Structure 1
Amino acid sequence: MRKTTILTSICLMGTAVLLGSINTSNVSADTQENTEIGIIYRVYNPNTGEHVYTNSIFEESRLFDIGWKDEGEAFYIPEFEVGKDNSNQGPLVSRLYNPNAGDHFYTSNQYEISELVKKGWKRDQIIFPTAKVGIPVYRLYNPNAIVGAHFYTTSSFERDNLVNHGWRYEGVAFNSVNSMGGTTK
């Protein structure tokens, strides 16, 4: 049933995109401008403990089909459009992949990207914009994990719970927007 619903949704979305009829402009009480948003989905591999964050419904669906657990919408990002004013956006986040461990890492820090690439990590094709200011996306590190060592969340409850279970809090990785495109919860 879920596959049929997802496939139907994908076909309808694809048709709408081709026809140019999707408009995700929203107005929030805490923002003064219309902001188009994108969704970052979180999926979990129960075999390895890794989470993957993606703005691709196709990737999310494919991972679900091969046994990953769909954890829903992780956070929201401003949409990037060529030719539009993107001055309210922060740096782009790159997803890197470790082919030796099978792990993913997300960062907007160019130094981190450069150092990881030197150590054999590969740049993945997933890149998404961040908000200059907004809702913090916290980065945590599990020193006991080989795969799935990093976790990203906007929830202070999740962050604090993981810290209480031995994870290391590494600070704010980047900023997101709320589901209406605003910069506060």
Structure 2
Amino acid sequence: MKNVMRRAFAAMVAMLMMCVSFVALPSSAMADTGGVRDMYRVYNPNSGEHFYTADSNERDHLTGLGWKYEGIGWKAPVKSSVPVYRMYNPNVGDHHYTMNANERDMLVRVGWKYEGIGWYSSDTNRAYPLYRQYNPNAKVGSHNYTLNTNERDMLVHAGWSDEGLAWYGVGGGSAAPAPSQPSQPTEPSKPSVTGRVITPGAWCKKSEAGEKGVSKTGEQYVCAYHDGNKIPHWYPAN
């Protein structure tokens, strides 16, 4: 009789475990719904801020104001259970992004404006972590978010603080396409200067500070510091 009771109890436990496993499946199956969306990355060469948005109209508006489009930073899920909040500091014109509701609320208390959910972090995909870095010497553009561990390590080596994981994407990024060139020149070509071909607004090495370069379209640039940034960038020479 005892053996029969033990077998019955074991069967009941097995059925219970099957039920628990079955109940746990839907939350995973429902994660990251609605497909993916591209997250655009733009850069303000005057302030040093990187800005991230899923809205192509917002991207195009900023590039029309002189921001540099740097391409797709990562791909985000259209929907998940983990929102990433977008904050704005009206005093210095800077943005900040976090999936920490406590950090969001703390910033609101000290004067930041909550601009809503910018995008979502993946519930289940851990193949595309984005890293967060902080520049303690910058008032604007003090945070950077990137998939690229080389970019993260370069900033940390230059004095930024590694603040660890920011959120998760569901796909990698891609660089902005090169500007199209006209088949026939519409104006006299600009004189070249000594120096390599560079990407306007990109970072340059400290050892290159003061050196000149040219863009693919012939504009002259110089590697220089701006607004207290610890990393020099390629700025227009004029």
Compute the TM-score of the two structures, normalised by the length of structure 1: 0.72
| Residue of structure 2 in register with 1:122 after alignment | 113
Contact 2:33 2:77 in 1 (8 A): no
Contact 1:37 1:179 in 2 (8 A): no
| Residue of structure 1 in register with 2:42 after alignment | 43
2:37 maps to amino acid: G
Compute the TM-score of the two structures, normalised by the length of structure 2: 0.56
Other structure's SS at 1:63 match: helix
| Residue of structure 2 in register with 1:108 after alignment | 99
| Residue of structure 2 in register with 1:92 after alignment | 83
Other structure's SS at 2:60 match: helix
Matched, 1:136 2:129: yes
Gap regions ≥5 residues in structure 2: 1-31, 174-238
| Residue of structure 2 in register with 1:73 after alignment | 72
CA distance in structure 2 between the aligned counterparts of 1:105 and 1:63, rounded to whole angstroms: 17
Contact 1:98 1:122 in 2 (8 A): yes
Work out the percentage of aligned pairs sharing the same amino acid.
45
Gap regions ≥5 residues in structure 1: 1-32, 81-88, 181-185
2:164 maps to amino acid: G
Other structure's SS at 1:92 match: strand
The answer to which structure, 1 or 2, has the higher relative contact order (CA under 8 A, 6+ apart) is 1
* Alignment coverage as a number of residue pairs: 140
Contact 1:54 1:126 in 2 (8 A): no
Give 1:125 shift.
Answer: 4.0
Other structure's SS at 2:88 match: strand
Matches within 5 A, 1:145-164: 145-164=138-157
Cα deviation digits, residues 58-114 of structure 1 (max 9, x gap): 00000000000000000110112xxxxxxxx35100110000111100001011001
| Residue of structure 2 in register with 1:19 after alignment | none
Provide the alpha-carbon RMSD of the alignment.
1.9
1:139 maps to amino acid: R
Give 1:127 shift.
Answer: 2.2
2:162 to 144, 169, 172: 169
Contact 1:43 1:72 in 2 (8 A): yes
